[in-house]
Structure 1
Amino acid sequence: MILRRIARPLLAAIFISGGVNALRNSQEHAKSAGPFLDKALGDRAEQLPDSVPTDAETLVKVDAAVKIGAGTLFALGRCPRLSAALLLGSLVPTTAAAHAFWEHEDEEARQQHLIHFLKNAGLAGGLLLAVADTEGKPSLGWRTRHAAHSAGKHVQTTQQRVQKNAQKKGKQVRKQGKRVGDEVSRYRP
């Protein structure tokens, strides 16, 4: 549908742009994300495996790569539901880290962060719609239920055919048995 071909790149553009900006200014973004990470991870950072990055700059770069990669896939219409889910997963912590309007004392700063928070909430709504969009095709759940129902009907039909054939063969065997019995009784002295 042409609407999706227009809407997806429009929605993806802010994520791709934000990801490129975060890669270019990863140290600056890491400073903003640092306090949020300290609150979110706290003492649990030491409990995580060594392979899981916990420093702000690495996490900013990973987040930027997700935004660029998933945003590009989404814009091109490749794996749109998965890429929208990845973008949504990236948007939530970014919004909480960068636009915590409730933490600002200055009314003007609070208002600016509230605007960005609400903008991101709107983007999240668009991404939720994209995650749920099956492009007019039945959902995986519906297809699974439909396949199970069809398989059940097929099994039931096959069972009925087998029973009919067994009954038919049973009648034939009984008839043949009766004929054999009649023949045997004719030859008895």
Structure 2
Amino acid sequence: MDVLVLVGRILFVALFLASALSHFTQTRTMAEYAASKGAPSSAAVIRGTGLLLLIGSLSVLLGIWADLGFLLLAVFLIPAALLMHAFWKESDAQSRQLEMIQFLKDMALAGASLMLLALISHAGGDLGLTITGPAFDIG
């Protein structure tokens, strides 16, 4: 089971690590996109969310307080879904559909992150192949 959980953690964070990299390598473009969605467009905000993604992803990947890492990913995902993928604001049917898919993807990943936070916090050190145990004790 330990190997299965490790493989799952690796597959789960691949998306977030790639996104974190984009936050640092395409800061200006991402800031312009955020501005077009009505979100703060500051490069500092983009770098800050990139750092949040990076820390959360590495925490999950390496098993260093992985429950906290899942919480950080959820903290990123929920506002991102609401601010960046507000499909209900789109008048074009195709744009509305694309934004709804992204919104639902982000919310599903946030839900999975919260469930994994609870699972890891509850399981404690029983899920091996981690560097530390959980940060939280849900018991």
SS in 1 for 2:79: helix
Q: Deviations over 1:83-136 (max 9, x none)?
A: 111111111222222211111111001101111111111111110111102363
Partners of 1:130 and 1:77 in 2: how far apart? Answer: 12
- Compute the RMSD of aligned alpha carbons: 1.9
Gaps of 5+ in 1: 38-54, 143-189
Report the AA paired with residue 98 of structure 2: Q
> Greater helix share, 1 or 2?
1
Q: How many residues align?
A: 125
- In the other structure, the counterpart of 1:25 is 26
Aligned to 1:120: 106
Percent identical: 24
For residue 136 of structure 1, what is the amino acid of its counterpart? A
- Residue by residue, what CA displacement relative to the aligned partner does 1:139-168 show, whole Å, maximum 9, x if unpaired? 7354xxxxxxxxxxxxxxxxxxxxxxxxxx
**Against the structure 1 CA distance between its residues 14 and 129, is the aligned structure 2 distance closer, same or farther, given a 3 Å change threshold?**
same
Checking the alignment, whether the CA contact within 8 Å between 1:63 and 1:90 is kept in structure 2 is: yes
Once superposed, which parts of structure 1, at least 4 consecutive aligned residues long, lie more than 2 Å away?
134-142
Residue by residue over 1:39-95, the C-alpha shift from the partner in whole angstroms, topping out at 9 and shown as x without a partner, is xxxxxxxxxxxxxxxx62101101001111220121111110111111111112222
Residue 110 of structure 1 pairs with residue 91 of structure 2: no
Match of 1:61 among 28, 47, 51: 47
Larger C-alpha radius of gyration, 1 or 2? 1
Counterparts of residues 37-186 of structure 1 (less than 5 Å): 37=40, 56-133=42-119, 134=121, 136-137=123-124, 140=137, 142=139
CA deviation vs aligned residue, 1:158-180 (integer Å, no higher than 9, x gap): xxxxxxxxxxxxxxxxxxxxxxx
The answer as to whether partners of 1:88 and 1:127 remain within 8 angstroms in 2 is: yes
Q: Which structure has the higher relative contact order (CA within 8 Å, separation 6+)?
A: 2
Indicate conservation of the 8 Å contact 1:66/1:86, yes or no.
Answer: yes
The alignment's TM-score, normalised by the length of structure 2, stands at 0.80
